[in-house]
Amino acid sequence: MTGPDDAGAAATAGERALLDPAVRMAGADVLVHPRFVEFGSSGRRWGRAEILEATAGELSLAGEQVETSDWCGQQLADDVVQLTHRTEVGGRSARCSSVWRHTPAGWQIWFHQGTPEHP
């Protein structure tokens, strides 16, 4: 197992990859855990199949550029990392939290929640 800094860096790299349109359209499935759940900033609950379908067609971001800031990682266990960050898409911002687990397939996102920020 990697150390806390390596684990946080690996999870952060995975999360940033999921924000990349090229990864979202092809290859995101290896980064998403089979039991993945997301509570989106819209309040909608997403499962793995739904999020992969939406991200492949870029329905969730409508092709808009995602700006991120305020990244922070915390290793919760040898194989679990929590990430928090802020996103801004099309003038809307959200605080995001995700949980990444180290699996035989590598680091995979297991849970994600986005909470809208109000001006």
pLDDT at 29 over 90: no
- Closest to 65 in 3D by CA, of 33, 39, 27, 91: 91
pLDDT at 31 over 80: yes
Considering the entire predicted model, what is its pTM? Answer: 0.84
For 5, 61, 78, the CA distances from 66, given in Å and listed in that order, are: 25, 8, 30
Residue-wise pLDDT tens digits, 1-27: 455 578 889 999 999 988 887 777 677
- The pLDDT score that the predictor gives to residue 76 is 96
4 Rama class: left (phi>0) / alpha (psi -120 to 50) / beta: alpha
Q: Using an 8 Å Cβ cutoff, are 55 and 36 in contact?
A: no
Work out whether strand 32-39 and strand 106-116 pair parallel, antiparallel, or are unpaired.
parallel
Domains delineated in the chain? 4-116 (3.10.450.50)
pLDDT at 62 over 60: no
Residue-wise pLDDT tens digits, 84-115: 999 998 888 999 999 999 999 999 999 999 99
Q: Using an 8 Å Cβ cutoff, are 56 and 22 in contact?
A: no
